[in-house]
Each structure stands twice: as C-alpha cells, then as structure tokens.
C-alpha cells in the first residue's frame, strides 16, 4: 500500500515540517518526479485523503497528502518555490485520482471517491479564498476579502501570479471532476484551465438537479466570491480569463452559491 511506503511517509513528514526549507523542497520534488506520476486512481485517492495514522517525530500524522499540501500552499513563511511545487503536486495528484492522469477511458468505481472529492473541494475552496484575498494594511477595516498576514501595502495574499493561476486552474479541474463524478452533464467550457478565451454562453445543459448540501454551497460561495472579487480583477490576463471560465462552470454546478454572490459579479 503506497500510503505505508517508507519513502512516501518520509516525504510527507519532510513536507509537513516547516523548519527546514531545503528538506521540504527536496521532498516536494520527490513527490512531483517519483511518487505521484503514473500512480493508479485508487492509490492517488488514498494519498490525498489518507487512510491511516503514523507516529512521526513523536507526532500523530494522518497520511493525507491533500491536507499537507494545502497547508504548504497557505504557509506565508515558506518559500515561493515550495508553495508552487505544492500547488503543482496537488493538481497532478488530483488528476491521477479523478481522471487517471488524463485518460479518456474512465477508471473503475472506487469506494469513497465522491466523499474524498467533496472533502478536498471544500478544503481547497477555503485555501483559494485565503490566497486570492487582498491583504489589508493594519488599521484598514474595509469590507471584502481579508488576507491573514497584512503587510504594508495592498495586493493578493499570494504574491505569485503563477501560483494564483495554478490554484484557479485546479479549481476548474476539481469542478470538472465533480461534474463527471456526479453526472451533472455540464457542458465543457473551452476556456477552463489553460485556455485564453471564455464564452459566456456556456452553461448548464444538465437534466440532473444541482448539487446541494450546506458545506458544498458554502465552499462554492467562497470560491465565487474570491474569483469575482479578486480573480476577474487580477492584472494577470490569463488568470482573469481562467477565473471567468471557472465562474461559468460554478454557476452551472452550484447556482444557489453564485446567486448569493450576485452583488460581487455586477
């Protein structure tokens, strides 16, 4: 079982710790180059979610790569290269988990796949919301999104436009996995992920009911607000276009959440 593999356990422990940046960076490289590529769907899901606990350096560590990578992405004290590697590894691991690395032939059903997908979606939306948020200087109590560690000037909490773009692209990926997994039947938007155009006519073509559930709706509302408030206004054109595409897909899958953020979109 891959989650019990000593190499993976060591890598996860090195990524989870924050005191030695070199160890963290090297562990992320190992994940990116040696562990995640080519992993089967079931193993990728177990890596993301974690299926057992281990005692590492005296601490109980749940072997959940998804949560560990999201923590790194949210860590303002770590280096930009580590945050970027964590974002890329997470996107790739999700791709192997829910798309078999991009294969057109769907993978066989896996118990718990949908639950893991819902959990990672909720957690990811919280992280994206925080990273897209503008930092507010101390003493400024204006409304809108608020970053966690305000510096002396305004700007996104995540200063790297490349990382912000990867996060928006990953949100598009996750929504497509939700569409596939729950048979929502939302039409593919040609502007998602790496594209450079967005057709606002794309919408829901599904006869299936929209996804519901308070956690999913709250997470989708956070995603909508982050993209509407920060993504569409981002000075990086590719990121603004990708945000537009995600909002279109989001409106088809979670119309209630988008309606609740209508003021942000006007």
Q: Are residues 188 and 78 in the same domain?
A: no
Last-in-domain residue among 101, 134, 168 = 101
Cβ(163)–Cβ(80) below 8 Å: yes
Q: Looking at 81-85, 101-105, 129-133, 192-196, which range is the least confident one? A: 192-196
Last-in-domain residue among 74, 101, 128 = 101
**Measured torsion, CA atoms of residues 156, 162, 167, 173, in degrees rounded to the nearest 10:** 150
Residue 17 within a domain:
yes
Main-chain phi, psi angles of 210, to 5 degrees? -65, 155
Residue 217 within a domain:
yes
Q: Are residues 117 and 225 in the same domain?
A: yes
Please tell me the distance from the alpha carbon of residue 120 to that of residue 57, in angstroms, as a whole number. Answer: 26
Residue 107 within a domain:
no
Per-residue pLDDT at 155 exceeds 90: no
Longest CA–CA span in the chain (Å) reads 55
Q: Are residues 147 and 177 in the same domain?
A: yes
Q: Are residues 9 and 137 in the same domain?
A: no
Q: Are residues 119 and 238 in the same domain?
A: yes
**What is the number of structural domains in the chain?**
2
Q: Are residues 63 and 95 in the same domain?
A: yes
Q: Are residues 183 and 90 in the same domain?
A: no
Q: Are residues 183 and 252 in the same domain?
A: yes
Give me the pLDDT at residue 194, please.
46
Q: Are residues 147 and 21 in the same domain?
A: no
Cβ(86)–Cβ(124) below 8 Å: no
Q: Are residues 180 and 238 in the same domain?
A: yes
Q: Are residues 131 and 20 in the same domain?
A: no
Measured CA to CA in angstroms, residue 114 lies from 87, 111, 182 at distances of 21, 8, 8
Residue 41 within a domain:
yes
Give me the pLDDT at residue 52, please.
53
Which residues have C-beta within 8 Å of that of residue 237, sequence separation ≥ 6? none
Per-residue pLDDT at 13 exceeds 70: yes
Could you tell me what percent of the chain has a pLDDT over 70? 71
Report DSSP state, residue 102.
Answer: G
Please tell me the distance from the alpha carbon of residue 85 to that of residue 59, in angstroms, as a whole number. Answer: 25
Give the up-direction half-sphere exposure of residue 104: CA atoms within 13 A in the CB hemisphere.
Answer: 0
Give me the pLDDT at residue 259, please.
86
Per-residue pLDDT at 242 exceeds 80: yes
Cβ(162)–Cβ(176) below 8 Å: no
Residue 187 within a domain:
yes
Cβ(182)–Cβ(115) below 8 Å: no
Residue 87 CA from chain centroid, whole number: 8
Last-in-domain residue among 43, 67, 101 = 101
Domain that holds residue 237: 112-266
Burial class (CB in 10 A: 0-12, 13-18, 19+), 96: buried
Per-residue pLDDT at 205 exceeds 90: no
Give me the pLDDT at residue 55, please.
53
Residue 106 within a domain:
no
Tokens of 52: 């057992």
Cβ(190)–Cβ(167) below 8 Å: no
- Model confidence pLDDT, tens digit, residues 62-120: 558 999 999 999 999 999 999 999 999 999 999 999 987 555 445 556 667 888 999 99
Residue 208 within a domain:
yes
Residue 239 within a domain:
yes
Name the more confident of 138 and 12. Answer: 12
Q: Are residues 17 and 139 in the same domain?
A: no
Please tell me the distance from the alpha carbon of residue 109 to that of residue 40, in angstroms, as a whole number. Answer: 12
**What is the pLDDT of the chain when averaged over all its residues?**
80
């Amino acid at each position: 079982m891959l989650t019990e593999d000593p190499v993976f356990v060591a890598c996860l422990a090195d990524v989870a710790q924050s005191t030695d940046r070199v160890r963290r960076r090297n562990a992320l490289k190992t994940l990116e180059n040696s562990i995640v590529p080519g992993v089967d769907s079931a193993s990728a899901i177990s890596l993301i979610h974690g299926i057992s606990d281990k005692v590492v350096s005296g601490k109980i560590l749940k072997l959940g790569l998804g949560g560990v990578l999201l923590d790194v992405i949210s860590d303002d004290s770590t280096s930009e290269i580590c945050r970027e590697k964590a974002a890329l590894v997470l996107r790739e691991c999700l791709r192997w988990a829910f798309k078999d690395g991009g294969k057109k032939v769907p993978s066989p059903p896996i118990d718990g796949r949908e639950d893991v997908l819902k959990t990672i979606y909720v957690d990811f939306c919280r992280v994206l919301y925080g990273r897209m948020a503008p930092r507010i200087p101390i003493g400024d109590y204006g409304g809108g999104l608020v970053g966690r560690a305000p510096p002396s000037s305004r700007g996104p909490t995540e200063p790297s436009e490349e990382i912000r773009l990867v996060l928006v692209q990953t949100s598009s990926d996750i929504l497509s996995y939700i569409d596939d997994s729950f048979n929502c039947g939302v039409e593919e938007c040609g502007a998602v992920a790496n594209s450079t155009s967005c057709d606002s006519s794309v919408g829901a073509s599904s006869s299936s009911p929209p996804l519901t559930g308070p956690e999913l709706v709250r997470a989708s509302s956070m995603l909508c607000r982050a993209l509407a408030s920060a993504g569409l206004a981002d000075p990086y054109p590719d990121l603004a276009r990708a945000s537009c595409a995600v909002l279109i897909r989001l409106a088809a899958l979670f119309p209630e959440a988008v309606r609740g953020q209508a003021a942000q979109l006007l």
